[in-house]
Amino acid sequence: MKKALLTASAAAFAIVASAGYASARDQVQVAGSSTVLPYAKIVAEQFGETFSNFKTPVVESGGSGAGIKEFCKGVGENTIDIANSSRAIKKDEVQSCIDAGVKDIQEVKIGYDGIVFATDVNGPDWALTSEDIYKALAAKIVVDGKLVENPNTKWNQVNPNLPDWDIAAYIPGEKHGTREVFEEKLLIAGCKALGGVEAAKAAGLDDKAADASCKAVRKDGKAVDIDGDYSETLARIDSNKTGVGVFGLAFYENNADKLKVATVGGITPSVETIAAGEYPVSRPLFFYVKKAHLGVIPGLKEYVEFFLDDQMVGPESPLADYGLVAAPDAERAAQREAFTAGKTM
């Protein structure tokens, strides 16, 4: 027994010693955005089931930023092949990629996702505008042309048509890709409409600082950053029936029996209104492919082509069923063409 254990440990040591482990990776590795994760999982699973000669790709989550960081670590088998992202890659991220030797990146847009505001299903109907959101959740708002600390504590102080509820909003945390869309399409839009930018400039701030003051969220506990996933936001709404949560369209549609969705600018979020560009708070979803790995990692090219097929991302596809808003026909065709042509950023 003791001898056997010793031999086994010796064997384990031998494996560690031969750590230069060099057999080729035969599986696509993907990491990134938790919003894109469910879609990537569906595609990966069906890819594995359809192509019996390739293994099912491994999909890690962890957030857009973390995925891109992993992606930009360099070229080689122990780096990932694809980064999922719920926002476009930033310039400094591209630069850090290039510095690490990832020179050719192919951008693929898979479709759109809508961001919805939802409340408990038994509550009243909500109709929001970007101005309402700004007045309720920004750190400083415009009163008589001047920036003041946000005095609003109830939704009906923001807009008399809204219910008499204490402001309690569960918004995506700063590491979420969703946060950027939330800031850009709601806070900054509302700020501009109400003259917040002028007021900030009048207070002596430059353009950049004015933007930053527009999208600063109040820190007095009325707006709560959720760094986890939407299921955490749902749990908060469950326990605080007068809370307002921010969700992805797909998540809302899967839990429509528990949540009531708010209109934004008078438009009800749905696959149709987002595809038509009517609903204001939507964003494109992407993934980024390392061109140097195409043809080296078995199945990578096939996986991307499979992903871009109308069977997967078209208007009547499993991804659309789950809540992805398909891009218009011409845009999908252009994406496929750009990938086949090997167009890099």
Partner 1 sequence: MTDISLDTLASSAARPRRDIGIKKRYAAERRFRLYGVLAIAVGLAFLGVMLTSIVSKGYTAFWQTTVTLPIHFDEKIIDPSNKRATDPNVLVTANYPKLAEAALIEKLGIDPSDRATVRKLKGFLSDGSRVQLRAIVAADPSVIGTTRDVDILAAANLDSAYKGQIDLNVPESRRKVSDQQVEWMNKLKAEGVMAEHFNTGLFSYGASSRPETSGVGVALIGSIYMMVIVLLLALPIGVAASIYLEEFAKKSRFTDLIEVNINNLAAVPSIVFGLLGLAVFINFLGLPRSASFVGGLVLTLMTLPTIIIATRAALAAVPPSIRSAALGLGASKMQMVFQHILPLAAPGILTGTIIGLARALGETAPLLLIGMVAFVADYPKTPFDPATALPVQIYMWANEAERAFVERMSGAIIILLIFLMAMNIVAIVLRRRFERRW
Residues that bind partner 1 (CB under 8 A): 5-6, 8-9, 11-13, 15-16, 19-21, 23, 25, 27, 29, 31, 34, 37-38, 40-42, 44-45, 48-50, 52, 55-56, 58-62, 73, 77-78, 80, 121, 228-231, 250-251, 254-257
CB of 231 or CB of 344, closer to partner 1? 231
Which residue's CB is nearer to partner 1, number 134 or number 230? 230
CB of 45 to partner 1, least distance (A): 5
* Alpha carbon distance 162, 156 (integer Å): 5
Shortest reach from residue 94's CB to partner 1, in Å = 21
Q: Residue 10 or residue 341: which is nearer to partner 1 going by CB?
A: 10
| CA distance linking residue 118 with residue 253, whole number of Å | 11
CA distance 184 to 215: 8
Distance CA 264, CA 278 (A): 10
Quote the least distance from Cβ 66 to partner 1, whole Å: 9
Reduce the secondary structure of 152-216 to three states and give it as a string.
Answer: CCEHHHHCCCCCCCECCEEEECCCCHHHHHHHHHHHHHHHHHCCHHHHHHHCCCCHHHHHHHHHC
Closer CB to partner 1, 4 or 341, in the complex:
4
Tell me whether residue 80 or residue 217 sits nearer to partner 1 (CB atom).
Answer: 80
Question: Please, which residue, 44 or 210, has the CB nearer to partner 1?
Answer: 44
Please give the helix or strand (H or E) that residue 322 lies within, else none: helix 318-322
Query: How far does CA 82 lie from the centroid of its chain?
Result: 15
Nearer CB in complex with partner 1: 47/155: 47
Label the pairing between strands 82-85 and 105-120.
unpaired
First and final CA of the chain: distance in angstroms? 60
Shortest approach of partner 1 to residue 283 CB, angstroms? 18
- Cβ distance to partner 1 smaller for residue 11 or 202: 11
In angstroms, give the least distance from the CB of 10 to partner 1: 9
Q: Does an H or E element contain 9, and which?
A: helix 2-17
Q: Tokens 């797909």 map to which residue?
A: 250
Distance, in Å, from the CA atom of 45 to the CA atom of 164, rounded to the nearest integer, reads 46
What is the smallest separation between the CB atom of 77 and partner 1, expressed in angstroms? 7
- Provide the 10 A C-beta neighbour count for residue 224: 16
State the chain's maximal CA–CA distance in angstroms.
84
Q: Least distance from C-beta 333 to partner 1, angstroms?
A: 24
Least distance CB 270 / partner 1 (angstroms): 12
